[in-house]
Amino acid sequence: MKTSLQKTSRASAHDIAAAIVVFQPDLDVLIALLDTIAQDGRRIFLFLNDLSESEVARLVDRVTNVRCLRSPQNVGLGAGLNWAMEAAAEEGFAYVVLFDQDSSPAPSLFEDLAVRHAAHTDRGAAVAVIGPLLVPAEGAYRAIRYEWRDAQEGTASFVPTSGSLMLVKAWRSIGPFRDDYFVGAIDVEWCFRAWAMGWKCLVARDVTMPHRWGSPAADGKSWKPQILRHSDTRTYFHFRNSLDCIRLPHPPLRWKISAALTLAAQAALLLAARGFSRVTRRYLWLGLRDGWVGRLGPLPGELAAAQQTSV
């Protein structure tokens, strides 16, 4: 294992793959990401959720060393990540760097993370994933708040997917991402599962990457709470998946209590800020109800139908 990791830290572009799951992207931002990670011929796995023919052509024409799967309908982030990991494993890659479609990495990110992964492994750590420290991108985005286990070492309860270097062997051992979560809290649940099985999840605090977390504040004020920047759909998934994660056996009790209190505060803030609107109450209630009983998957039919009617 040590020899393999040392080799990877000095590896060529073909030793670490990249993967992106795409849905309703800002094409200019996504193309900039593709240009950055494809400049040294790196293998890219691209999962395209519900894109038009013209959008697909514009993306695929940008790079040559790409393998893509196009889904005619949105099947969610978890399903796309699992396909990418499986495809990379089939082609013999030991590591995959996972990107959000609006990530903005430096060209050196792959090498930087591989070197730090090797350094921790050389000290005997079983590292499942290591990610960069995400910092707000341009515009009124909020900084991500990490839950550190050991800030000096860089261990965190969970590591955001965006820009993270994942060991394929760990993904095999820990199990696939929760595709029934669809979107939201997927990395949180997977990392808690990893910790419960003896793996570590790390953040390389000296490696930064700009990140667009959610939507920027419409009024340009970066202090606006993130929960108020969510669409109604993301509000549903946030509350549903977070509550379901609280119900699971592997997250620690301390986190469950903290997460439950945070959800209660977010619900109160959201309702107050939106004047207890009927639409917000409906999405919030259904998210909490479905999370409590473990009713997962894509947006429930009653909400999807309501969205179609309102268009």
Mean pLDDT of 193-211: 96
Asked whether residue 220 is assigned to any structural domain, the reply reads no
pLDDT per position as a tens digit, 72-128: 889 999 999 999 999 999 999 999 999 998 899 999 999 999 999 999 999 999 999
pLDDT of residue 52: 81
Cα separation, 21 vs 79, in Å, equals 9
Between strands 44-49 and 66-71, the pairing is parallel
Higher pLDDT, 28 or 166: 166
Asked whether residue 270 is assigned to any structural domain, the reply reads yes
188 and 88 both lie in a single domain = yes
Asked if residue 9 has pLDDT above 60, the reply is: no
Cα separation, 33 vs 46, in Å, equals 12
Asked if residue 230 has pLDDT above 90, the reply is: no
Asked whether residue 216 is assigned to any structural domain, the reply reads no
Higher pLDDT, 225 or 19: 19
Asked if residue 140 has pLDDT above 80, the reply is: no
Asked if residue 283 has pLDDT above 60, the reply is: yes
233 and 203 both lie in a single domain = no
Asked if residue 37 has pLDDT above 70, the reply is: yes
Structure tokens at 73: 């309908």
Asked whether residue 97 is assigned to any structural domain, the reply reads yes
- Show the CA angle centred on residue 222, arms to residues 130 and 106, nearest 5°: 35
Please name the amino acid found at residue 160: P
260 and 122 both lie in a single domain = no
Q: Which domain holds residue 40?
A: 2-101+108-211
Domain boundary residue among 211, 240, 269?
A: 211
Asked whether residue 218 is assigned to any structural domain, the reply reads no
Query: Which residues in 212-296 belong to E strands, given as ranges?
Result: none
39 and 147 both lie in a single domain = yes
187 and 252 both lie in a single domain = no
47 and 184 both lie in a single domain = yes
From 182, 163, 181, 175, select the one nearest 199 (Cα to Cα). Answer: 175
Residue 202's DSSP bridge partners are: 130, 155
- Mean pLDDT, the chain, as a whole number? 88
112 and 237 both lie in a single domain = no
Domain boundary residue among 211, 238, 256?
A: 211
Mean pLDDT of 57-66: 80
pLDDT per position as a tens digit, 110-124: 999 999 999 999 999
Q: Work out how many domains the chain is built from and give that number.
A: 2
From 45, 117, 38, select the one nearest 86 (Cα to Cα). Answer: 45
119 and 262 both lie in a single domain = no
190 and 230 both lie in a single domain = no
181 and 238 both lie in a single domain = no
CATH number at residue 141: 3.90.550.60
pLDDT per position as a tens digit, 167-193: 999 999 999 999 999 999 999 999 999
Domain boundary residue among 142, 176, 211?
A: 211
137 and 279 both lie in a single domain = no
Residue 137: strand, helix, or coil: coil
Asked if residue 203 has pLDDT above 50, the reply is: yes
Residue 217: CA atoms inside 13 Å, Cβ hemisphere, count?
A: 13
Structure tokens at 220: 């340009």
pLDDT per position as a tens digit, 12-32: 445 899 999 999 888 888 999
Q: How far, in Å, are 21, 46, 90, 166, 205 from residue 230 at the CA level?
A: 20, 25, 36, 28, 27
Cα separation, 47 vs 17, in Å, equals 14
24 and 162 both lie in a single domain = yes
